[in-house]
Amino acid sequence: METVSKNTAHGGTQGVYKHASRQTGTDMTFSVFVPPHDEGAKLPVVWYLSGLTCTHANVTEKGEFRRRCAELGLIFVAPDTSPRGEDVADDAEKAYDFGLGAGFYVDATQEPFAKHYRMWSYVTEELPALIAENFPADMDRQSIMGHSMGGHGALTIGLTFPDRFKAVSAFAPIVAPSQVPWGHKALPGYLGDDRAEWRKHDAVALIEDGARVDALLVDQGEADNFLAEQLKPQLLETACQDAGIDLTLRMQPGYDHSYYFISTFMNDHLNWHAERLK
């Protein structure tokens, strides 16, 4: 693991790191904030998954999470959204919503993406092992959150591993990719035409098929230009009601899809996670 940069912030350390990934077959970059702590202490870990076009840098630079993580004693980990490199397949038309920067947190089975696009295994297996080995992380106390495509990833991973993640939340998530244009492009492109495979990476479908968590927190901006066509939080609301999942869905007037929105409500989510990570 190579240290790309390291800076002191709020008494802790904000680092950016790079390593050669076995899962993706590429170099992968991620950021980790470690708050101030006593020597030998093990700290809970909050995972943050980013959205379309993003890297680790978007939330690291714009998320405004460090002060609250320092106060709450939370490690904050932000992976990239897809493999990158000269030989990594991209969308033929260089579209923003498929290919580089749009890994959708799945293990692709379709060529030419299957070789490198293994973001599910990277985020759920390889990177957690690296974090456990190199940082003062209490891997028995993990939670996960994300934004947009990363909200989709956080929900699907949290629902798949409910015993691992003590809290799951999202900002403007893609709750039902099987039912929206982004998903209609990404899921067959990465996973093929078997819709049963799609359901494993669709939060609403997972809940319909029996996946359960105790509670979810979702913030959604009412001025989000993707709200009606791509995000459809009402589908998650219905699924949670039918399943008895305690969903807190907060529709925020005036807020869009940007990091102005995310940073405004980041502390609320960190507080919510910290309560469940005690």
The CATH number assigned to the domain holding 224 equals: 3.40.50.1820
CA–CA separation, 110 vs 95, rounded Å? 18
Look at residue 211 in the predicted model and tell me its pLDDT. Answer: 97
Q: What is the pTM of this model?
A: 0.97
Q: Mean of the pLDDT values across residues 90-117?
A: 95
Active site residue 257: yes
Q: Is the dihedral of CA 83, 62, 75, 48 positive or negative?
A: negative
* Band of pLDDT at residue 93, cut at 50, 70 and 90: confident
Task: Provide Rg for the chain, Cα atoms.
Answer: 17
CA–CA separation, 218 vs 174, rounded Å? 11
113 is a domain residue? yes
276 is a domain residue? no
90 is a domain residue? yes
24 is a domain residue? yes
120 is a domain residue? yes
59 is a domain residue? yes
- Catalytic annotation, pick one of 148, 201, 202, 269: 148
22 is a domain residue? yes
- Catalytic annotation, pick one of 56, 116, 152, 257: 257
**Residue from 8, 64, 6, 68 nearest 31 by CA:** 6
275 is a domain residue? no
- Please give the sequence-ordered ranges of beta strands (E in DSSP) within the chain, or none if there are none: 2-9, 12-20, 27-34, 43-49, 75-78, 137-147, 165-171, 215-221, 246-252
- Catalytic annotation, pick one of 80, 224, 269, 273: 224
Q: Mean of the pLDDT values across residues 242-260?
A: 98
Percent of the chain with pLDDT over 90: 98
What would the pLDDT profile of 120-159 be if each residue is shown by its tens digit? 999 999 999 999 999 999 999 999 999 999 999 999 999 9
Paired tokens of 58? 């978007």
Q: Mean of the pLDDT values across residues 247-270?
A: 98
Domain that holds residue 161: 2-270
Percent of the chain with pLDDT over 70: 100
Count structural domains, the chain. Answer: 1
Active site residue 224: yes
On the question of pLDDT at 161 being above 90, the answer is: yes
Contact in structure between 39 and 29 (CB atoms under 8 Å): no
